[in-house]
Structure 1
Amino acid sequence: MAASKVTVHFPCPLEQVWHTVTDLTHTAWRSDLARVEVLDEAHFVEHTKSGYATAFTVTACQPLHFWAFTMENGNMSGSWEGIFEAAEGGTLLTCTETVTAKHWWMRPFVPGYLKRQQKLYLCDLRKELLK
Structure 2
Amino acid sequence: MEKIKESTIIANFCSPIETVWNIVTDNTAYTWRSNVVRIEVSDDGNRFTEFTKDGFETQFTITMKNPYERYEFDMKNKNMNGHWIGLFSKDGSGTKIEFTEEVEVANPIMNLFVKSYLKKQQETYVIDLKKSLGE
Tell me the TM-score normalised to structure 2 length: 0.93
1:13 aligns to what?
A: 16
Number of equivalent positions: 131
> Per-residue displacement from partner, 1:25-77 (whole Å, max 9, x unpaired)?
11000000011000132110000011011000000010111100010000011
Structure 2 runs not aligned, ≥5 long: none
> Per-residue displacement from partner, 1:79-108 (whole Å, max 9, x unpaired)?
111111111130011101111112122110
Quote the RMSD (CA, aligned, Å). 1.0
Percent identical? 41
Are 1:119 and 2:123 an aligned pair?
Answer: yes
Contact 1:74 1:102 in 2 (8 A): no
Partner secondary structure for residue 106 of structure 1: helix
Contact 2:21 2:88 in 1 (8 A): yes
Say which of 35, 38, 44 aligns to 1:35.
Answer: 38
- Structure-2 separation of matches of 1:97 and 1:85: 18
Structure 1's consecutive aligned runs of 4 or more residues displaced over 2 angstroms after TM superposition are none
Q: Map residues 1-131 of structure 1 onto 2, 5 A cutoff.
A: 1-39=4-42, 40-130=44-134
Partner secondary structure for residue 128 of structure 1: helix
Tell me the TM-score normalised to structure 1 length: 0.96
- Structure-2 separation of matches of 1:37 and 1:113: 24
User: Which one-letter code corresponds to 1:54 in the other structure?
Assistant: T
Structure 1 runs not aligned, ≥5 long: none
Shift of 1:118: 0.5
